[in-house]
């Protein structure tokens, strides 16, 4: 790929930012206050818009229901558009209502299951009003102790609930099924790995795909392989970008193992044009910036993704294929390393300059008066 093509792609590469990435977050031990935190969905949209103004890399704002509930969703949509952004994936929350102590969409109590389904219908209605096309489902249902649930029954109930929800989706809507190895359930989780999400997505049809969150795997998992297999079978629907060293740590994407992130992008490029607006994959940040100021952390995250994407575009796929056919392990590896070792920050700087953006957005935001006014205003 020539440099101008690469620059064009980087220029068009955009990612959704999560509304919750601008608010307070923490661990079960404490959620510390960080100056500048957004306190409601409007402030979160403000922050996303601000980040976009600096980076031109924000495709939309993913929202969480009920965290981001408002009276008037059309007004919310308008607000986002006024600010130069839009509403992205809608994420129903199945983990905070007291009724969900023993499960939501898989609860053996019919009334609670109904409630969870209705709540999802509400989210679909919100999607209609905000023109969102992605229903992003993370279902935390599972159990904490052997014997607590009957696996088959719970799985069956979940499948049934999802069938009802799938039917409710409009033609152009997609449901993404996220999976997670553990937490908040500590013994079993119904959607604990890509296999469970894939199994259900097959049963539920073409509107349902799998979402990969980078922090939701057992240690050692080869995520780029999962990316490849799911994409190959047409079932990869989206990404939650973050990093982890231990469990679902929700750290800044690219902060712990940037080479793994690069290898994931190397696979993604084989199946998707990530720079296209019409790409058939949802790319969303999903992080908890527990010890970092929120807006700068999102800017840093986007920068990390841009660096990684740029490097992945430098891979010589033709030569790679040749080396693979010859089983030339070292040469194949060095082709990847050659792209990875390049310092692409000059390319990024050029792209930004051409767009009239700050050349180093991470530095810029920390010195921006606009940013500090936000921090000051929010106290």
Is residue 251 close enough to count as binding its own copies by CB under 8 A?
yes
Residue 361 tokens, joined: 């957005």
- Least Å distance, CB 217 to its own copies, is 8
Q: Which of 26, 66, 205, 234 binds its own copies (CB under 8 A)?
A: 26
* Secondary structure of 3-51 in HEC code, one letter for each residue: HHHHHHHHHHCCEEEEHHHHCCCCCCCCCCCCCCCCCCHHHHHHHHHHH
- Least Å distance, CB 92 to its own copies, is 14
For residue 210, the SS3 value is strand
Q: Are 214 and 259 in contact (CB under 8 A)?
A: no
| Alpha-carbon gap, residue 241 to 214, rounded angstroms | 6
Is residue 114 close enough to count as binding its own copies by CB under 8 A?
no
Is residue 35 close enough to count as binding its own copies by CB under 8 A?
no
Is residue 66 close enough to count as binding its own copies by CB under 8 A?
no
Query: Which of residues 111 and 327 has its CB atom nearest to its own copies in the complex?
Result: 327
Stretch that binds its own copies, among 2-10, 124-132, 215-223, 370-378 (CB under 8 A): 215-223
Burial of 186 (0-12, 13-18, 19+ CB in 10 A): exposed
Query: Which of residues 76 and 176 has its CB atom nearest to its own copies in the complex?
Result: 176
Is residue 110 close enough to count as binding its own copies by CB under 8 A?
no
Q: Are 337 and 41 in contact (CB under 8 A)?
A: no
- Least Å distance, CB 1 to its own copies, is 18
Residue 22 tokens, joined: 């601008």
- Least Å distance, CB 347 to its own copies, is 12
- Least Å distance, CB 86 to its own copies, is 27
Is residue 108 close enough to count as binding its own copies by CB under 8 A?
yes
Please give the distance of CA 306 from its chain centroid, rounded to a whole number: 15
Is residue 67 close enough to count as binding its own copies by CB under 8 A?
no
Residues binding its own copies: number (CB under 8 A): 102
DSSP 280: S
Is residue 220 close enough to count as binding its own copies by CB under 8 A?
yes
Write phi, then psi, for 239 (nearest 5 degrees).
Answer: -135, 140
- Least Å distance, CB 265 to its own copies, is 12
Q: 4, 104, 51, 5: which is closest to 371 by C-alpha?
A: 51
Q: Which of 12, 345, 350, 364 binds its own copies (CB under 8 A)?
A: 345
Query: Which of residues 79 and 296 has its CB atom nearest to its own copies in the complex?
Result: 296
Please give the distance of CA 142 from its chain centroid, rounded to a whole number: 22
Q: Which of 22, 79, 155, 371 binds its own copies (CB under 8 A)?
A: 155
User: What CA–CA distances, in Å, run from 15 to 12, 105, 118, 152?
Assistant: 10, 29, 29, 37
Is residue 206 close enough to count as binding its own copies by CB under 8 A?
no
Task: Please report the sign of the dihedral spanned by the C-alpha atoms of residue 60, residue 276, residue 206, residue 107.
Answer: negative
Query: Which of residues 131 and 193 has its CB atom nearest to its own copies in the complex?
Result: 193
Query: Which of residues 26 and 373 has its CB atom nearest to its own copies in the complex?
Result: 26
- Least Å distance, CB 173 to its own copies, is 25
Question: Which of positions 310-339 make contact with its own copies (CB under 8 A)?
Answer: 320-321, 323-325, 327, 329-336
Q: 298, 180, 299, 193: which is closest to 244 by C-alpha?
A: 180
The interaxial angle of helices 73-82 and 110-130, nearest 10 deg, is 40
Question: Which of positions 168-197 make contact with its own copies (CB under 8 A)?
Answer: 181-184, 186-189, 192-196
Question: Which of positions 255-274 make contact with its own copies (CB under 8 A)?
Answer: 255-260, 263, 267, 270
- Least Å distance, CB 336 to its own copies, is 5
DSSP 252: P
> What is the helix (H) or strand (E) element at residue 364, kind and residue range?
helix 361-367
Q: Which of 32, 40, 72, 378 binds its own copies (CB under 8 A)?
A: 32
- Least Å distance, CB 261 to its own copies, is 10
Is residue 129 close enough to count as binding its own copies by CB under 8 A?
no
Give the angle 30-251-289 at the CA atoms, nearest 5°.
50
Q: Are 214 and 227 in contact (CB under 8 A)?
A: no
Query: Which of residues 110 and 172 has its CB atom nearest to its own copies in the complex?
Result: 110
Is residue 111 close enough to count as binding its own copies by CB under 8 A?
no
């Amino acid at each position: 790929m020539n440099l101008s093509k690469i620059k064009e792609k980087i220029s068009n590469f955009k990612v959704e930012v999560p509304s919750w990435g601008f608010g307070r977050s923490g661990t079960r031990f404490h959620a510390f206050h960080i100056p500048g935190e957004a306190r409601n969905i409007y402030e979160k949209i403000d922050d996303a818009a601000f980040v976009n103004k600096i980076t031109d890399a924000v495709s939309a704002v993913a929202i969480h229901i009920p965290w981001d509930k408002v009276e008037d969703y059309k007004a919310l949509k308008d607000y986002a558009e006024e600010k130069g952004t839009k509403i992205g994936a809608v994420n129903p929350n199945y983990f905070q209502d007291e009724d969900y102590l023993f499960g939501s969409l898989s609860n053996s109590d019919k009334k609670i299951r109904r409630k969870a389904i209705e709540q999802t219908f509400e989210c679909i209605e919100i999607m209609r009003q905000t023109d969102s096309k992605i229903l992003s489902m993370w279902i935390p249902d599972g159990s904490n102790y052997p014997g607590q649930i009957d696996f088959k029954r719970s799985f069956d109930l979940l499948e049934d609930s999802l069938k009802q929800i799938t039917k409710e989706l409009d033609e152009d809507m997609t449901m993404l099924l996220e999976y997670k190895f553990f937490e908040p359930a500590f013994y079993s989780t119904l959607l604990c790995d890509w296999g469970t999400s894939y199994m259900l997505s097959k049963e539920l049809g073409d509107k349902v795909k799998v979402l990969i969150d980078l922090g939701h795997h057992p240690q050692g998992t080869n995520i780029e392989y999962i990316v490849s297999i799911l994409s190959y079978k047409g079932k990869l629907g989206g990404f939650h970008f973050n990093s982890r060293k231990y469990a679902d740590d929700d750290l800044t994407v690219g902060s712990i193992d940037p080479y793994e992130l690069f290898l994931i992008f190397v696979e993604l490029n084989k199946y998707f044009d990530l720079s296209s607006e019409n790409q058939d994959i949802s790319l969303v940040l999903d992080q908890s910036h527990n010890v970092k100021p929120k807006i700068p952390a999102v800017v840093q995250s986007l920068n990390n993704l841009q660096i990684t994407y740029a490097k992945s575009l430098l891979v010589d796929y033709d030569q790679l294929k040749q080396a693979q056919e010859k089983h030339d392990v070292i040469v194949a590896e060095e082709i990847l390393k050659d792209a990875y070792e390049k310092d692409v920050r000059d390319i990024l700087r050029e792209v930004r300059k051409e767009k009239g953006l700050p050349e180093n957005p991470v530095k810029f935001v920390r010195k921006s008066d606009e940013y500090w006014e936000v921090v000051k205003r929010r106290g």
